[in-house]
């Protein structure tokens, strides 16, 4: 037996899902020896296998995670050959239906085999389910721990923010580690046209019961297109003595030669990817910048490991991220496609602490926390998906400061967290205008985390945007109140008339959003209206200035768009008097 951690001479099987190093050959190949099986049988006691027994699932080298939910500690029996777990099929079916959603939440489409096990149990009433584990256990381990899945983080090497992530060590696909190998079982997948609506509904309700079906339906649309990148995902990389060929490829890229990857054409792609990544990581600064330019827009699969090492955003690297999600890795949150955004939404169904795609319209908190394209050269344009402002607000209101801090760079301090909270509050206050009255009331009643991400004046602004007018006097008097968020909250709440003096003062200082709100507020007096109109001239001067700042790289595209949108709102509110602003914006 290999040396493995755990109690008992043959291992603690829960740990064996990621600790069987040395027993596996090539990545993805099955381990040798240690055959484990799950059978339907008419016998209630351990005994040699009956030819009439029916195989439900099998595994090699480790006990799949989901098998443990089918049994309780009292089901463990030591037979003449070692450990077996035996229970009635109706008891196993009940446990599966109660605990299955938890496994789906953690594994997504890689738990799809649970449906085959459920069908087998449903079709075999009054029989017994037996897990034959004798090749792994010579004596009974601590079954109380193994059968208790309340804390899935007992596999820290396989989890990221509550989602199981494939590793190179468990010797197969992520589905093998979660459910094992199951006989073919046909399932009806959702219509791809319904995926977005069903994903939003599942995320809104926290319902992971069909998560495996939704993810599988999405994945099947992508597998063929991403097949070349599936062959070179990082889980498969390995050293292959291709250092010289990798250097030749980098030279060809830097010099702009045609077919720069030709030196590696006859090599195994997982060896070539490893060699290219290692070689690119050792490049000196001058060559790095040359390669940055060469890689932008690259679509060749082997460009991905080079772009990854040099942190260059390009289509090939985006494709690698999608392929790694298909292969059991984390969702591709940097990729600006509708499919990638859906993958991130699906992951968040079962793990609320998981990031949405920053290109997703409901990802206000993620964008505010600065994760969009973090650390990469190049930018990606957000995609337009169906909006769900109620979901964006509820996610942000329920986000804890601790979880939010985990999305920031490691060296970020409290100021960075506070700045992100302010940016999120402003975006959410603007979104709240699209939320209906009953939903606003429900959102106001949401309980706050013990240490919320949105706290103090930021949270009060969002509550005001949702219709909590009691928060307004305090916000007007609080120096910590962010003006942009408060203006947006007043508009969303339809409460501009309650803060006309404050809005007029903001308009006199050149705030176009405040000026537009004054102009849109019925009953605004002549003094306030004059103050609002006075904001047009400074806005006109500001348009070329902010465009120059963007061209010089001093502000982001998002900041430019936000400023121009506020000016466009003022131009609309001014009516015919806004013509000069509209002309300047059109330029």
Tens-place pLDDT, residues 94-149? 999 998 888 898 889 999 999 999 999 999 998 999 999 888 887 788 888 888 76
Alpha helix ranges (H) inside 170-284: 174-178, 195-205, 211-222, 227-230, 243-254, 269-281
Phi/psi of residue 426, each to 5°? -60, -45
Looking at residue 171, its pLDDT comes to 59
Tell me how long the chain is.
Answer: 587
Q: Which residues of the chain have pLDDT under 70?
A: 1-34, 149-158, 168-171, 371-386
CA dist 493 → 256, 473, 489 (Å): 57, 14, 6
- The whole-number pLDDT of residue 150 equals 65
**What pLDDT sits at residue 354?**
82
Q: CA 61, CA 95: separation in Å to the nearest integer?
A: 24
Distance CA 393, CA 424 (A): 9
Give the β-pairing of 76-79 and 82-88. Answer: antiparallel
3-state per-residue secondary structure call for 314-356: CHHHHHHHHHHHHCCCCCCCCCCCHHHHHHHHHHHHHCCCCCC
Which is nearest to 71 in space by CA: 91, 100, 101? 91
Residues 6+ away with beta carbon under 8 Å from 19:
4, 5, 11, 169
Nearest CA to 57 out of 183, 170, 146 is that of 183
Which of 140, 313, 324 lies closest to 231, judged by CA? 324
- The pLDDT tens digits of the residues spanning 277-294 come to 999 999 888 888 999 999
Residue 126 backbone zone (phi > 0: left; psi -120 to 50: alpha; other: beta): left
* pLDDT value, residue 370: 77
- C-alpha to C-alpha distance for 100 and 499, rounded to whole angstroms: 52
| Alpha carbon distance 362, 367 (integer Å) | 10
Tokens 């199981």 — which residue?
A: 164
Report the alpha-carbon distance of residue 69 to residue 281 in Å, rounded: 44
pTM over 0.85: no
């Amino acid at each position: 037996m290999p040396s493995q951690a755990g109690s008992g001479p043959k291992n603690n099987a829960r740990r064996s899902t990621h600790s069987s190093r040395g027993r596996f050959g090539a990545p993805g190949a099955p381990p040798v020896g240690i055959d484990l099986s799950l059978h339907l049988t008419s016998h209630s006691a351990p005994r040699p296998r009956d030819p009439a027994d029916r195989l439900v699932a099998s595994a090699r080298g480790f006990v799949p995670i989901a098998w443990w939910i089918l049994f309780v500690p009292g089901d463990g029996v030591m037979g003449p050959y070692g450990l077996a777990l035996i229970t009635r099929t109706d008891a196993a079916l009940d446990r599966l239906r109660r605990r299955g959603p938890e496994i789906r939440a953690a594994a997504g489409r890689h738990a799809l085999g649970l449906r085959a096990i459920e069908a087998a149990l449903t079709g075999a009433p009054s029989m017994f389910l037996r897990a034959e584990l004798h090749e792994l256990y010579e004596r009974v381990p601590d079954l109380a721990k193994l059968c208790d899945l309340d804390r899935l983080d007992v596999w820290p090497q396989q989890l990221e923010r509550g989602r199981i992530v494939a590793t190179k060590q468990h010797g197969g696909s992520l589905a093998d580690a979660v459910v094992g190998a199951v006989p073919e079982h046909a399932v009806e997948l959702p219509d791809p046209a319904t995926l977005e609506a069903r994903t939003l509904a599942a995320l809104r309700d926290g319902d992971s019961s069909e998560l495996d079906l939704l993810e599988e339906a999405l994945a099947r649309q992508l597998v063929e297109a991403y097949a070349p990148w599936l062959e070179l995902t990082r889980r498969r990389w390995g050293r292959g003595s291709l250092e010289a060929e990798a250097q030749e490829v980098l030279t060809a890229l830097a010099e702009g030669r045609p077919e720069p990857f030709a030196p590696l054409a006859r090599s195994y792609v997982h060896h070539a990817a490893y060699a290219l990544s290692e070689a690119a990581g050792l490049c000196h600064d001058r060559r790095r910048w040359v390669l940055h330019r060469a890689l932008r827009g690259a679509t060749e699969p082997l460009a991905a490991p080079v772009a990854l090492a040099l942190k260059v955003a390009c289509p090939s690297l985006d494709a690698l991220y999608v392929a790694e999600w298909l292969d059991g890795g984390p969702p591709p949150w940097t990729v600006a496609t509708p499919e990638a955004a859906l993958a991130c939404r699906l992951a968040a169904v079962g793990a609320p602490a998981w990031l949405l795609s920053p290109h997703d319209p409901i990802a206000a908190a993620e964008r505010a926390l600065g994760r969009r394209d973090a650390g990469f050269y190049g930018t990606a344009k957000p995609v337009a998906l169906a909006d769900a402002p109620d979901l964006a607000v509820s996610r942000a209101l329920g986000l804890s400061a601790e979880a939010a801090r985990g999305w920031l760079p490691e060296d970020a301090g409290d100021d960075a967290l506070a700045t992100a909270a302010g940016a999120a509050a402003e975006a959410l206050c603007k979104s709240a205008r699209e939320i209906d009255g009953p939903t606003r009331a429900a959102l106001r009643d949401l309980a706050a985390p013990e240490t919320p991400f949105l706290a103090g004046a930021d949270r009060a602004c969002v509550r005001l945007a949702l219709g909590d007018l009691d928060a307004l006097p305090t916000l007007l008097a609080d120096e910590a109140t962010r003006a942009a968020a408060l203006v947006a909250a007043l508009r969303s709440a339809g409460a501009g008339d309650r803060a006309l003096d404050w809005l007029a003062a903001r308009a006199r200082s050149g705030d176009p959003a405040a000026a537009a709100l004054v102009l849109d507020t019925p009953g605004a007096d002549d003094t306030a209206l004059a103050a609002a109109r006075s904001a047009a001239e400074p806005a006109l001067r500001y348009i070329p200035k902010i465009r120059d700042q963007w061209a010089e790289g001093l502000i982001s595209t998002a900041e430019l768009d936000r400023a121009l949108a506020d000016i466009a709102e003022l131009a609309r509110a001014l009516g015919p008097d806004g013509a000069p602003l509209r002309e300047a914006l059109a330029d």
